[in-house]
Every structure is written in C-alpha cells, then in structure tokens.
C-alpha cells in the first residue's frame, strides 16, 4: 500500500499521560497536514508542514500539542498531559505541494482518553 499510513490506529490512554502518533506520507509529497475530527464534525485543521518546516499551527492547539517532521519525511504528533477533551480521531494527509492540490488522507488514529 503506497498511501498515507498512520500508527497506531487506536490508542487508549489515561488522563495525564503523553501520547505520540506517527504519520508516513506518500513518498514524493512535500506537504503534510494534521487534522482532528470529533463525532459529528468535519476535520479541523491542526497544523501543516512544507517539507520539514511547520508553517502554521491552529489556535485550536494548546501548548500541550507539538508536531514535528524531521527531514521532511514522516511526522509525529505528540499530546502531553492528555485530557478527556482530546479524545478524537487524528487524521494525517499529504499532498504534492502545488497550490490547493489534492490531499490524500490516512486512515486516522482514534484516541480515547479515560
């Protein structure tokens, strides 16, 4: 499968714990996006990378959230001191890098914070 992959697919954690998710984009894609999706809502933009540079971070993200994309390849999203409100589906997408190009989504990581 040469599509976007995400790991893990499911994560259950206790409140206060730290979690890290990984996204592997399509290999030739320069852009990488993270979204959060809660029940009954569409994906909400969290952050965006152009190669290894993080160009925008949503105001939705608190200081507990951080994302990296070392070497412009895979990306990680870390949530520190998780809260029950962080329970959601976290989606990763990648695109080639032209203006408003098609984003290819991964299957998502479902986080449940107990």
Partner 1 sequence: AQRVTQPEKLLSVFKGAPVELKCNYSYSGSPELFWYVQYSRQRLQLLLRHISRESIKGFTADLNKGETSFHLKKPFAQEEDSAMYYCALINTGGFKTIFGAGTRLFVKA
Closest CA to 92 of 42, 38, 47: 47
Q: Does 42 bind partner 1 (CB under 8 A)?
A: yes
- Report d(CA 94, CA 55) in Å as an integer: 14
| Least distance to partner 1, CB of residue 44, Å | 7
Site residues for partner 1, 3-32, by CB under 8 A, read: 3-4, 31
Q: Does 53 bind partner 1 (CB under 8 A)?
A: no
End-to-end CA distance of the chain: 33
Burial class for 14, CB neighbours closer than 10 Å (0-12, 13-18, 19+): exposed
| Least distance to partner 1, CB of residue 48, Å | 5
Nearer to partner 1, 3 or 16 (CB): 3
Closest CA to 91 of 104, 74, 72: 104
- Candidates 13, 24, 45, 72: give the one binding partner 1 (CB under 8 A): 45
Enumerate binding residues for partner 1 (CB under 8 A): 3-4, 31, 33, 35, 40-45, 48, 50, 55-56, 91, 93, 99-100, 102-108
């Amino acid at each position: 499968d040469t599509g976007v992959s995400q790991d893990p697919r499911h994560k259950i954690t206790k409140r206060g714990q730290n979690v890290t998710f990984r996204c592997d984009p399509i290999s030739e894609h320069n852009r990488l996006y993270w979204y959060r999706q809660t029940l009954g809502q569409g994906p909400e933009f969290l952050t965006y990378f152009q190669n290894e540079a993080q160009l925008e971070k949503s105001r939705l993200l608190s200081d507990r959230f951080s994302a990296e994309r070392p070497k412009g390849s895979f990306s990680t999203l870390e949530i520190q001191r998780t809260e029950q409100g962080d329970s959601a589906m976290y989606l990763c997408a990648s695109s080639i890098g032209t203006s408003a190009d098609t984003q290819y989504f991964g299957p998502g990581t479902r986080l449940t914070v107990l």
